Amino acid sequence: MTREEALDSVRANVENENSVKHMLATEAIMRALAERLGEDKEEWGLTGLLHDIDMELTEGDMSSHSRLGADLVREMGASEAMAHAILCHNQAHGIPLETKLDEALFCADPLTGLVTAAALVRPDKKLASVEAKSVRKRFKEKGFAAGANREQIATCSELGLELDEFLELGLKAMQGIAVDLGL
Ligand SMILES: [Fe+2]
């Protein structure tokens, strides 16, 4: 599966532009994590890009979300490791995270919302004007971007990353695709 094929499939299945941007942001963070950890950037990036491909197909039904997604990406030729990471990123199924790829997707997923919100409160609403220290500060404000699950983000420790390093890595990764994110 090429990245272009993956993105085409995402666009074919997800109409909401913010959802597509969330997947692009997750892809960028996953690639940066793979780079940092010496893992497969293509595999990790594609896992991030595809992880919510069933978001609209499952219409918010958390009991089917990510099960369908895992099936879809398998049909597209994704590796079993990718399908498993996508399957267990929705913890509603109670399937344990087993691999580094599983752990990476799980902690990267909610970070995109925190970083996006940190950009949107800047006067210019641009990622370029967000500093790592402000993401760290916002992380500690419980009411800020409350949907971005802090405990889940903090599971970056399972990958051997300090929280501060992970927040900065996520910010930089998203800044690198700011044009695509419209931020
Ligand atoms: Fe997601």
Separation of CA 29 and ligand 1 centre (Å) = 12
Separation of CA 101 and ligand 1 centre (Å) = 14
User: Which residues are near ligand 1, the ion (C-beta closer than 5 Å)?
Assistant: 52, 109
Q: Are 89 and 106 in contact (CB under 8 A)?
A: yes
Is the predicted pLDDT of residue 166 greater than 90, yes or no? yes
User: What is the structure's pLDDT at 98?
Assistant: 97
Structure tokens at 153: 């983000």
User: What is the structure's pLDDT at 155?
Assistant: 98
User: What is the structure's pLDDT at 60?
Assistant: 86
Average pLDDT of span 148-177: 98
Separation of CA 30 and ligand 1 centre (Å) = 12
User: What is the structure's pLDDT at 78?
Assistant: 96
Q: How confident is the model at residue 128 (pLDDT cuts 50, 70, 90)?
A: very high
Could you read off the pLDDT of 21-47 as tens digits, one per residue? 999 999 999 999 999 999 999 999 999
User: What is the structure's pLDDT at 69?
Assistant: 97
Separation of CA 141 and ligand 1 centre (Å) = 21
Could you read off the pLDDT of 46-104 as tens digits, one per residue? 999 999 999 999 998 999 999 999 999 999 999 999 999 999 999 999 999 999 999 99
Greatest Cα-to-Cα distance within the chain, rounded to the nearest angstrom: 44
User: What is the structure's pLDDT at 161?
Assistant: 98
Q: What angle do CA 61, 67, 69 make, to 5 degrees?
A: 95
Separation of CA 23 and ligand 1 centre (Å) = 6
Is the predicted pLDDT of residue 5 greater than 90, yes or no? yes
Instruction: Please state, in angstroms and rounded to a whole number, the distance separating the CA atoms of residues 183 and 180.
Output: 8
Instruction: Tell me the three-class secondary structure of the chain, residue by residue.
Output: CCHHHHHHHHHHHCCCHHHHHHHHHHHHHHHHHHHHHCCCHHHHHHHHHHCCCCCCCCCCCCCCCCHHHHHHHHHCCCCHHHHHHHHHCCHHHCCCCCCHHHHHHHHHHHHHHHHHHHHHCCCCCCHHHCCHHHHHHHHHCCCCCCCCCHHHHHHHHHHCCCHHHHHHHHHHHHHCCHHHHCC
Average pLDDT of span 105-133: 98
Separation of CA 80 and ligand 1 centre (Å) = 19
pTM of this structure? 0.97
Separation of CA 25 and ligand 1 centre (Å) = 9
